[in-house]
């Protein structure tokens, strides 16, 4: 199969899935986990049973519901940790930006480098 620039529409869902399930440097977690409160299960994990899928399959329904309830209670904590991580990220970006800023003392009537001579 030859791939061309016209194939982007077929590949878009895969690109979006990759974006939503990769860890963001600004938050330290995936967008998927912030939204749903748990990590995603890849289709390959369902086809070739991963340990995580096998463990959940062997749980009784009541045990599974209890585990899911505990995960939902932890989602707020996870989101709060992501917020702290994001705030630290913003501070690092701000420091890096402020290192490059040149302070200029301007007085009323100064036009800086755009002053015109009459």
Q: Which pLDDT belongs to residue 10?
A: 84
Specify if 97 maps to a domain.
Answer: no
Which residues, at least 6 apart from 30, have a Cβ–Cβ distance to it below 8 Å? Answer: 20, 21, 22, 23, 24, 39, 40
Which residues, at least 6 apart from 104, have a Cβ–Cβ distance to it below 8 Å? Answer: 112
Specify if 101 maps to a domain.
Answer: no
Specify if 113 maps to a domain.
Answer: no
- C-beta separation of 112 from 104 below 8 A: yes
Q: Which residue range is the domain that position 15 belongs to?
A: 5-91
Specify if 43 maps to a domain.
Answer: yes
pTM, entire model: 0.41
Q: Which pLDDT belongs to residue 1?
A: 46
Specify if 111 maps to a domain.
Answer: no
Specify if 13 maps to a domain.
Answer: yes
Number of domains in the chain: 1
- Which residue carries 């990220």 as its tokens? 89
Specify if 98 maps to a domain.
Answer: no
pLDDT in tens, the chain (118 residues): 457 777 788 888 888 888 888 888 888 888 888 877 777 776 665 555 555 666 666 767 677 677 777 777 777 788 888 888 889 999 999 999 989 888 777 777 776 565 555 5
Specify if 16 maps to a domain.
Answer: yes
């Amino acid at each position: 199969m030859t791939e061309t620039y016209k194939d982007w529409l077929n590949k878009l869902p895969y690109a979006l899935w990759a974006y939503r399930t990769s860890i963001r440097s600004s938050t330290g977690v995936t967008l998927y986990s912030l939204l749903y409160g748990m990590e995603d299960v890849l289709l390959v994990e369902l086809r070739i049973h991963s340990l995580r899928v096998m463990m959940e399959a062997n749980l009784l329904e009541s045990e599974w519901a209890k585990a899911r309830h505990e995960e939902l209670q932890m989602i707020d904590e996870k989101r709060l940790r992501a917020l702290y991580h994001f705030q630290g990220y913003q501070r690092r970006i701000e420091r890096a930006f402020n290192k490059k800023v040149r302070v200029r003392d301007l007085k009323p009537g100064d036009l800086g480098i755009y002053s015109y001579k009459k």
